[in-house]
Amino acid sequence: MTISTERHSDQFELGLHTFGDVNETPDGARRLSQPEVLRNVLAEAVLADQVGVDVIGVGEHHRPDYAISAPDVVLAAIGAATERIKLISAVTVLSSDDPVRVYQRFATIDGLTSGRAEVSLGRGSFIESYPLFGYDLSDYEQLFEEKVDLFVKLRSEGPVTWSGETRAGLNAQEIFPKTDHERGLPTWIAVGGTPNSVVRAARHGVGLELAIIGGSPARFAPLVDLYRRALAQFGQPEDLRVASHSHGFVAETDERAREIFYPSWAESMHRIGQERGWGTSYPSRDQFDQEIAHGALYVGSPETLAEKIVRTQKALGISRFGLKYGNGSLAHEHMMEAIELYGTRVKPLVLDQLSSHA
């Protein structure tokens, strides 16, 4: 059996992403342990599969506020407990990993799940993996460029000859297991808005995943245009896809969604802001509301989310949208409610609106 590389769908795909945020009980009385969070992530993914969500993505971090450090292991567990949902990393930090082992692990998941695995490659928004695995941050750019180059060559699933400075070379070596995909394991490069990263994705002939975490999503339109032009320039297939990833939350009403999500979002932004020197104050409720109204926060009722996702699709021409549904202390119980609404209400509304506009 041969499967198209990108497994094109005739309809727009909606995904859910999580980093396994170490969160709290609904009453805020207790912070969960990381093992509890991992088990909850599995339950969330199973529900997503049951309610028709197309893709589940899990991200890699190596820090106390996130429970997922091995996305491939988590995705393997999800794959064994689900039937149809696609399984993607969000992202795999390739710079501090080995491309051969990453390919083998995801190819293994792909075989076990009848072709449901994908990998999104990135350098990570945090840098804790570099010292953890013995890499020098001064090699930040070279590590990613060389390892992406090798990973893309592995997608041929034939004998690979490669040399570089960041790992030992290969001389006509084959990698196992193989997949059933015509062009190798479905692969994306995640970018945060840097034109050079967009061109890299096009040059290597992989999908482009836009991490849109602030400001208007429409401002990324020039990057999508750059990607399409670069694909043509490098002679790459024109059917390669563009996806976007943003934070958000859905509840029965706009008011309920904002009341539940604001405290965890503000806490998370405050913590990251302190780490990165953005400031020490908590984001105000007005800032939160402005980011929902004009920026990249997808928070509200099913109708509100569907309308904003459709606007994003029209502005960027994406074929997949991924919502990072967990954030900071947000309780598992609230996330389960949001997942059910996302699959049963948001997805049908989005598809209906896109169909009517076609």
- Band (pLDDT 50/70/90 cuts) for residue 269 is confident
Instruction: Give the distance, in angstroms, between the CA of residue 279 and the centroid of all CA atoms in the same chain.
Output: 27
- Band (pLDDT 50/70/90 cuts) for residue 1 is very low
> pLDDT value at position 8?
44
The residues facing 121 across adjacent strands are 92, 189
Looking at the predicted structure, is the pLDDT value of residue 5 above 80?
Answer: no
The residues facing 160 across adjacent strands are 173
Is the torsion defined by CA of 73, 86, 335, 316 positive or negative? positive
> pLDDT value at position 3?
41
Euclidean distance between CA atoms 35 and 29, whole angstroms: 18
Helix (H) or strand (E) holding 206: none
Domain positions in the chain are 13-259+298-357
Q: Is 254 left (phi over 0), alpha (psi -120 to 50) or beta?
A: alpha
31 vs 23, 28, 70, CA distance in Å? 6, 7, 21
> pLDDT value at position 278?
73
Euclidean distance between CA atoms 125 and 61, whole angstroms: 9
Please, what's the largest Cα pairwise distance for the chain? 60
- Band (pLDDT 50/70/90 cuts) for residue 2 is very low
* pLDDT tens-digit series, residues 106-145: 999 999 999 999 999 999 878 999 999 999 999 999 999 9
Q: What percent of the chain has pLDDT over 90?
A: 90
> pLDDT value at position 280?
67
- The CATH label, of 2.170.120.12, 3.10.250.10, 3.20.20.30, 1.10.10.10, for the domain at 13-259+298-357 is 3.20.20.30
Euclidean distance between CA atoms 226 and 257, whole angstroms: 35
Euclidean distance between CA atoms 162 and 26, whole angstroms: 51
The residues facing 208 across adjacent strands are 189, 242
> pLDDT value at position 276?
75
The residues facing 207 across adjacent strands are 188
Encoded tokens for 11:
């309809």
Euclidean distance between CA atoms 22 and 43, whole angstroms: 15
Mean pLDDT, rounded, for 72-77: 98
> pLDDT value at position 10?
65
What's the DSSP call for residue 345? I
